[in-house]
């Protein structure tokens, strides 16, 4: 029973005794004092029935060990002064288990050690987000108490994570199936805690620590894969370049064939005659005609200086 109720009860009883005391010479003064004490005691009892539940909490009502099924929501309440109200948080809480000292709920290395399907022992740094269901607070208080995070959340987290990890290979849970493993963990623990009045929100798989030999093997495999992808890119680039050159060569060959087909004897003769006409009509021009074939006679254009020298000789 709260001390304030005891004080209020004592004041009330004293006030009643003074008011109902036998008549004496100073009865008026005794009555007035008793009335004031009675009023003070009643006020104390009245205010002792006021309960204020802070934000983010609910109030669990316990009456001489009997826990009521209905929790008080946040706010102002006037209840039986004899009822004890225990505030319980319904805000999201985090439970961290880490290999780094002073980072988790417990000091020292508190990482979860789990065994994968290929027999590799790994360490996991994990944080779980959870909160108390408001309507289940009386049940949790009655069955688990206030320290339910240590009694139920911690073992449930560790068990769910181990049960999930055993279904994956160390390499998979380290890389490509990490998110899938987290979903499996959340499904298991959400079902377990939900039955106990605790709403589980999310698992944060913060770090996965593999044995050094496994980490080295994974790194080498990833490096080899990256190198293979690089070589594949180079090969594709060279293939595209070879295709480009082949197309270019085909274009040149096609153009040359078109030009060769257009160089007929009639066209060459016409072009030759046209060139002779231009040379003949050009002033100060010297040219030499040499035998070439039976039809066309090639011409060599001679510089004027050469022609002058011949004349002088």
Q: What domains can be seen in the chain, in order of their start residue? A: 3-88 (no CATH), 93-210 (3.30.479.30), 265-312 (no CATH)
Helix (H, G, I), strand (E, B) or coil at 32: helix
Q: What angle do CA 183, 189, 195 make, to 5 degrees?
A: 135
Cα separation, 183 vs 65, in Å, equals: 41
Cα separation, 291 vs 115, in Å, equals: 97
Are 122 and 172 in contact by the 8 Å Cβ rule? The answer is no
pLDDT tens sequence across 64-109: 888 998 999 999 888 887 788 899 999 999 999 998 877 878 887 8
pLDDT tens sequence across 182-230: 999 999 999 999 999 999 999 998 888 887 777 676 677 777 777 787 7
Query: Going by DSSP bridges, is the β-strand pair 93-97/121-132 parallel, antiparallel, or unpaired?
Result: antiparallel
Cα separation, 92 vs 129, in Å, equals: 6
Helix (H, G, I), strand (E, B) or coil at 204: strand
Residue 269 tokens, joined: 């003769």
Contacts of 275 (CB under 8 A, 6+ apart): 299
270 pLDDT band, cuts 50/70/90, is: confident
β-bridge partners, 300: 288
């Amino acid at each position: 029973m709260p001390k304030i109720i005891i004080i209020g009860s004592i004041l009330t009883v004293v006030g009643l005794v003074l008011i109902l005391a036998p008549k004496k010479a100073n009865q008026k003064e005794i009555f007035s004092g008793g009335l004031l004490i009675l009023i003070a005691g009643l006020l104390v009892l009245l205010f002792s029935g006021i309960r204020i539940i802070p934000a983010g909490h609910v109030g669990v009502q316990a009456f001489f060990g009997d826990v009521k099924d209905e929790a008080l929501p946040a706010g102002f309440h006037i209840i039986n002064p004899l009822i004890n109200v225990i505030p319980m948080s319904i805000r999201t809480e985090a439970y961290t288990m880490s290999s780094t000292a002073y980072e988790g709920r417990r000091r020292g290395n508190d990482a979860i050690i789990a065994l994968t399907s290929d027999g590799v022992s790994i360490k996991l740094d994990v944080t779980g987000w959870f909160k108390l269901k408001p309507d289940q607070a009386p049940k949790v208080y009655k069955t688990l108490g206030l320290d339910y995070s240590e009694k139920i959340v911690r073992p449930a987290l560790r068990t769910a994570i181990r049960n999930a990890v055993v279904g994956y290979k160390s390499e998979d849970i380290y890389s490509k199936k990490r998110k899938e493993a987290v979903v499996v963990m959340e499904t298991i623990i959400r079902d377990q805690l939900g039955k106990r009045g605790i709403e589980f929100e999310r698992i944060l798989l913060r770090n996965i620590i593999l044995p050094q030999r496994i980490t080295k093997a994974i790194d080498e495999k990833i490096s080899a894969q990256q190198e293979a992808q690089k070589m594949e890119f180079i090969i594709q680039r060279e293939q595209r370049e070879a295709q480009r050159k082949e197309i270019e060569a085909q274009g040149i060959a096609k153009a040359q064939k078109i030009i060769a087909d257009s160089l007929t004897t009639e066209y060459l003769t016409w072009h030759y005659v046209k060139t002779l006409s231009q040379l003949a009509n050009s002033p100060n021009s010297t040219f030499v005609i040499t035998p070439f074939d039976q039809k066309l006679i090639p011409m060599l254009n001679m510089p004027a200086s050469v022609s002058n020298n011949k004349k002088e000789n």
